[in-house]
Amino acid sequence: MNDLGFENPWLLSALLLSLPPLWRSGVKPTRHACLSLLPPDALSGWLDWLLRILPAAAIALATLGAAGMHLKQQKIARLAHGAHMVILLDRSKSMDNSFAGQTPSDGEQSKASAARSLLNKLVDQRRRDLIGFAAYSTSALPILPLTENKQALHAAIDATASPALAYTNISKGLALALAYFDQKPTAGSRIVLLVSDGAAVIDPDSEAALRQLFKRTQVRLYWLFLRTENNPGIFSTPEDNRDDNPQAMPERYLHMFFTSLGIPYQAYEAEDANAMRQAIADFDRLEQFPLPYFETIPRQDLSGVCFTAMSISISLLLGLKWLEGRK
């Protein structure tokens, strides 16, 4: 019964109107000289009973129909391959440059637009995932909560087509992405997909805080690093020892930080759109863990059924009327 809902519950008070027919049937009494002369007739008894029940039922059904009876929207637990994923996108100014590190010329793609089209595809591919979307530049921008609304996700990804914002403050971005999972019950695998074209130094305070957050939230981290030509990459080692510091090679140091976290972590270095596509495909293949999810079954309208049943009652009543004996 908990699954039944009504559009206009107050109309249910009209159910009281189905009581009068029970003690008064709409049959005109016929005069008879002596009732006791009549033999007891079981059929008449049944018909009398029907004449009371049918209009009462018709009124009750009409009321239920008018009140908009429906089966409420239901959620059925199912198991599928998927994850809870937060996409964390770099919105620093350099993302608007091409992979060659220049303002994109005709026919060239900027890193941001390459990322945009790939993320749009990824969102469509990952059918069962709950996906959240956040961006960061000098500060972190929470954009969408974890959601299965693909239309909203596309809207958020498309909105990043506007020029990028400012600098790269990766620690704020990571803290925001992890906050999506903090203090929430664990369900299935949790992913943070970081898409960026550069790293920045993480100060020791934030580093300690991030370490704790990573440990607490138990996420799997994927870093899609869009490497600009001739820039140091994640895996490059310095030729000169004096360059081996986070200021000179922030990417290498961020990678070392991620590796030292002790969480499942995978880094991809992409130098063009093709490499990005491969990285995303690889990610998609790796992240196929069982995920309990709820399938929503939309509510079902029952008022049509009520009205049909009502019409049957009325038709039967009309048939009985037709049979009524008269003088």
Partner 1 sequence: MPNPTFFRDFRAWCLILSCISFLAMQIYPRISKEQPIYDLTLIVDITRSMNAEDYRLNGQPVSRLEYVKHCLRELLISLPCQSKLGLGVFTERRAAILFTPIEVCSGFPEINASIASLDWRMAWAADSRIAHGLFNTLQEMTDKNSGLIFLTDGQEAPPINPRYGPDFSSLKRQTSGFIVGVGGLQPVTIPKFNTLGQRIGVYGPDDVPQRTSFGESDLNPEKIDGYDARNAPFGRAAPVGEEHLSALREDYLKQLATESGLGYSRLTNAGDLARAIGASKPARTTKQFEDIRKYYAACIIVLLLAQLI
By CB under 8 A, name the binding residues for partner 1.
Answer: 8, 11, 14, 17, 20-21, 24-26, 28, 55, 58-59, 62-63, 65-68, 91, 137-145, 147, 149, 151-152, 155-156, 158-159, 162-163, 165-167, 303, 307, 310-311, 314-315, 317-318, 321-326
Q: Are strands 130-136 and 69-71 parallel, antiparallel or unpaired?
A: unpaired
Minimum Å gap between C-beta 227 and partner 1 is 24
Nearer to partner 1, 134 or 267 (CB): 134
Nearer to partner 1, 36 or 151 (CB): 151
**How many Cβ atoms sit within 10 Å of the Cβ of residue 167?**
14
Question: Which whole-number Å values give the CA distances from 112 to 86, 118, 286, in the listed order?
Answer: 18, 10, 24
Minimum Å gap between C-beta 147 and partner 1 is 5
Minimum Å gap between C-beta 94 and partner 1 is 14
Nearer to partner 1, 28 or 242 (CB): 28
Nearer to partner 1, 55 or 232 (CB): 55
Q: Are strands 290-297 and 74-81 parallel, antiparallel or unpaired?
A: antiparallel
Minimum Å gap between C-beta 109 and partner 1 is 20
Nearer to partner 1, 149 or 186 (CB): 149
Residues ≥6 apart with Cβ < 8 Å to 172 = 136, 139, 140, 206
At residue 161, the 3 state secondary structure works out as coil
Nearer to partner 1, 57 or 83 (CB): 57
Minimum Å gap between C-beta 112 and partner 1 is 13
Place of tokens 């991030």: 210
Q: Are strands 74-81 and 83-90 parallel, antiparallel or unpaired?
A: unpaired
Place of tokens 């049937």: 25
**How many Cβ atoms sit within 10 Å of the Cβ of residue 158?**
12
Kind plus residue range of the DSSP H or E element containing 78: strand 74-81
**Closest to 135 in 3D by CA, of 168, 103, 113, 102:** 168
Kind plus residue range of the DSSP H or E element containing 33: none
Minimum Å gap between C-beta 230 and partner 1 is 27
